[in-house]
Amino acid sequence: MIASLRAKDRAELNRRGFLRVSFAAAGGLFVSLYLDREATHTALAQEGNPQPPPQQSPKNFPPDAFVNIRPDGKIVIQVNRLEFGQGVHTGLPLVLADEMDADWNNVIAQLAPAADVYKDPLFGIQMVGGSGSIAHSFQQYRELGAKTRAMLVAAAADRWQTTPDKCRTEAGVVHGPAGQSATYAELAGEAARKPVPASVRLKNSSEFRLVGKRVKRLDRSAKCDGSLKFGLDLDLPGMKVAVVAHPPVFGARVKNINDEEARNVPGVLNIFEIPLAKGTGVAVVAERFWAAKQARSLLQIDWDLAGIEPADSAELWTTYRQLGRTPGNMAATQGDPAAIDKIAPSNRLVAEYEFPFLAHSPMEPLNTTVRFDGERAEAWAGSQFQTFDQAAIAEVLGLKPEQVTFHTEMAGGGFGRRAVTDSHVQREAATIAKRLRGTPVKLVWTREDDVQGGYYRPMHFHRVEIGVEADGLPTAWRHVVVGQSLLADTPFASFLIKNGVDQTAVEGAADTHYAIPNFHVSVHHPKVNVPVLWWRSVGHTHTAFVMETLIDELATRARMDPIAYRRKLLKPEAKKLLRVLDVLDQASAGWRNKLVRGHALGVSCHECFGTGVACAVDVSIENKRPKIHRATIAVDCGLAVNPLSVESQFQAGLSFGLTQLMAKGAITLKNGRVEQRNFDGYAPPYIMDAPAAVDVHIVPSTEAPTGCGEPPVPVISPAVVNALARLTGKRYRTLPLTSI
């Protein structure tokens, strides 16, 4: 069921989107291949036309929900997940367009609204995350493109009274055996009547015209001239703007509001208490954002803190350290868990690591717009979790999800912040829209709301004891992780938390590719009154740091080259990591052994979400901060669907990862209150903090593609810190790096 259509499509099709025929001025028959099969069946049946029942099977994605061949020749492709920088807005359409043999110059990509047909084929919800866009939808979009092409060719073959095998396609045109040709737009109407093939032949990689090529982003021009609209840019007739005063301590409730001054701000329309995911807050609705913000700052609110646990970073560290020095729930075990105790202390390495809370802080502050008319609702948001968000809005408004038209807006970053199972921002917006029935309202979170509003990468403590053999390789590894469970109290809990272990807290450590005979990882999941969330690359943000700094320390101890040491220690099955280490070796050979005085090399490698990455950095210390002159990256992501996109993701993702090292890269709490307010207190990397140059080397591969959204993040911080260790002789186990 197509939940919603863009305005110009609405002009061609009615809300339910059944087949429409329009006659072009020249008398031809042009039809847009964009229809809802079920509704078509119903509609045509009602008109007395017998039609075969639509073929609906969960794996059989109807091309018409994804491809619209417009009469003007433009091919509009629906993208089944949010574009928030990772490039899926270009990446999936190019896959479809390639198999379809569409003219890439005529392709327009759109972000699909929330609908069943757009659910992730593997996860069964409409979402983006886990670096899964290409990995999960590559095959899907290939088939969609191939099926559409097959239907167009079948239509042409009919027209020319020949057979499909005698026709070929190129750049949006079908060519017949006797010199005939027809554009896809011309054939669309007839093609729409063809049955969707159950199976199709997909291209050999040698036939690819777009896949595997460096394809520039479809959205790049509009993002350079101010014309591309993000969720925050939405403007609707009669729209009001709302901000919410959130409690200073998570979960607190409003006790008393003095809004006299606030109501005097011109343009303020309404001020009222609303329930939040936890606790309550105060909504301020105004004609304009500035009025709402001014009024909110004039509110005097007494908060009820009774029974609310005030989280405090210093206290948490004390608790976490204690927990970390005791065994937790077993996450991985191999060999003898007591092996470490039998090793002489002089052959043991013990290390404790501390990682603070981190805010995701995408550049576009969170926002959602909702309009509720009593029977239906319409919502706009740059959502990573459309299925959850649509359902949450429906729940708040007393509707069914299909009664909520949920538009996916282009988002200014996400990094996981827009993937929240409790849909708290959408719930706030829906609650306010319910009160303002009939009037669209845009809820805006300010940067202060974002920095102080929770949903952080959790604090973590690690304690690792390593026993080392004479050859310098570890024989025993006992590792305790302490950190809040991300998945507890979410729909994912029942199948992703096993035996008290939340996989997301130990991934990257428990499933390490290093061969360590006696290997034991356990975890504690304390309950803390701070809402927590993924943060780009999730568990790997801290586990990779621990693993790769310790491995490096062992390499130094063994007086081995850091690349050689890793090669030696990795399991032979770790094919991707071994490959990228080889490529890194070659690609960095030109510079890594020729560093000038004051510069040092740092190396790391890590695999996450199926992609293997190796990293080498050239680092010096300038003005007491690490200066990264160069980073060389080797990546094995299987088939690189868009190598330009892979390169961009790695060049840029390294910078995101460096947030962890920034002097002000930490969220801390004192007596329940977040101490940072904005980018002055929580300062991510700016241009001088990022590597000045990054060269990316992609391992040639024909294996199934794996993602690149998150894999850049885990490798950079340990690589930089490994370089610093060579410069200063110190070990850096507490993040962020406030001093070097």
Partner 1 sequence: MATYKLNVNGQPREVTVDPSTPLLWVLREDLKMTGTKFGCGISACGACTVHLDGIATRSCIVPISHVGDRPITTIEGIGSDAVGRAVQSAWVETDVVQCGYCQSGQIMAAVALLKATSKPTDENIEESMGGNLCRCGTYPRIRQAIKTAAAQLTKGAA
Partner 2 sequence: MRRIRAGVSVSVVVVAVVLWLNAFAGANASDPPTTAQGLAAWHQIYSVLTSPRCINCHTATDYPQQGDDRHRHIANIVRGPEGKGVPGLNCSGCHQETNADSTGVPGAHNWHLAPLSMRWQDTNDQPLSSAAVCRAVTDRSRNNNLDGPSLLKHNEEEPLVKWAWNPGRHPDGTMRTLPPLSHEEFVAATRRWVEAGTPCPPEK
Which residue, 487 or 720, has its beta carbon nearer to partner 1? 720
From the centroid of its chain, how far is CA 214? 22
Tokens linked to 708: 């690149």
- Please provide residue 224's backbone torsions phi and psi, each rounded to the nearest 5 degrees: -110, -5
Indicate the SS3 state at residue 437.
coil
Which residue, 265 or 316, has its beta carbon nearer to partner 2?
265
For partner 2, give the closer residue by CB, 492 or 679.
679
List the x/- string, 626-665, binding to partner 2 by CB under 8 A: ----------------------------------------
Question: Is residue 364 within 8 Å of residue 412, measured between CB atoms?
Answer: yes
The label of the residue with tokens 């190796």 reads 614
Task: State the nearest-atom distance from the C-beta of 681 to partner 2, in Å.
Answer: 9
**Nearest residue (CB) to partner 2, 272 versus 686:** 686
Nearer of residues 294 and 706 to partner 2, judged by Cβ: 294
HSE at residue 88, side-chain half, CA atoms within 13 A, is: 30
Rounded to a whole number of angstroms, the minimum distance from the CB of residue 214 to partner 1 is 9
Min separation Cβ 678 and partner 2, Å? 9
Tell me how far CA of residue 625 lies from CA of 607, 665, 690, 739, in angstroms: 28, 13, 11, 8
Shortest distance in whole angstroms from residue 666 CB to partner 1: 16
Binding mask of the shown chain, residues 195 to 224, with x at each position contacting partner 2 by CB under 8 A: ------------------------------
CB nearer to partner 2: pick between 228 and 688:
688
3-class state of residue 244 by DSSP: strand
Instruction: Name which of 55, 31, 374 is nearest 189 in CA terms.
Output: 31
Cβ proximity to partner 1: between 48 and 226 the closer is 226
Taking only Cα atoms into account, the Rg of the chain, rounded to an integer number of angstroms, comes to 28
Query: Choosing among partner 2, partner 1, none, which partner's interface includes residue 281 (Cβ < 5 to 8 Å by kind)?
Result: none
293-312 residues near partner 2, rule: CB under 8 A? 294, 297
Q: Which listed option, partner 2, partner 1, none, makes contact with residue 225 (CB within 5 to 8 Å by class)? A: partner 1
Interacting residue ranges for partner 1, rule: CB under 8 A: 83-87, 216-217, 219-221, 223-230, 232-233, 235, 241, 266-267, 288-291, 294, 361-365, 410-415, 446-448, 644, 648, 651-656, 658, 678-680, 683-688, 690-694
Least separation in angstroms between residue 326's CB and partner 1 is 37
679 to 738, contacts with partner 2 by CB under 8 A? 679-680, 683, 686, 688
Peptide bond into 177 cis (omega under 30): no
DSSP category for residue 63:
G
- Report the C-alpha gap between 467 and 338 in whole angstroms: 11
Nearer CB in complex with partner 2: 24/688: 688
Amino acid at 261: E
Binding mask 668-687 for partner 2 (x = CB under 8 A): -----------xx--x--x-
Q: Is 260 in the site for partner 2 (CB under 8 A)?
A: no
Residues numbered 32 to 71 that lie near partner 2 (CB under 8 A) are none
The whole-angstrom separation of Cα 486 and Cα 544 is 18
Pick one of partner 1, partner 2, none as the site partner of residue 548 (Cβ within 5 to 8 A by kind).
none
* Residue 249 or 291 having the CB closest to partner 2: 291
Q: How far apart are CA 638 and CA 641, in angstroms?
A: 9
Residue 618 binding partner per list partner 1, partner 2, none, with a CB distance cut-off of 5 to 8 Å that depends on partner kind: none
Ramachandran quadrant class, 361 (left: phi over 0; alpha: psi -120 to 50; beta: rest):
left
β strands within 213-337, DSSP E: 240-245, 253-258, 268-275, 280-286, 300-304, 329-334
Q: Which entry of partner 1, partner 2, none binds 297, CB below 5 to 8 A by partner kind?
A: partner 2
**DSSP annotation of 528:** -
CB of 535 to partner 1, least distance (A): 12
Q: How far apart are the first and last CA of the chain?
A: 57
SS3 591: helix
For partner 2, the closer CB: 299 or 464: 299
**Mask of contacts with partner 2, 277-296, x by CB under 8 A?**
-----------------x--
CA-wise closest residue to 43 among 62, 17, 66: 17
Give how far Cα 506 sits from Cα of 68, 335, 537, 693, Å: 43, 19, 12, 32
Under 8 Å between Cβ of 223 and 260: no
Footprint of partner 2 (CB under 8 A) = 294, 297, 679-680, 683, 686, 688
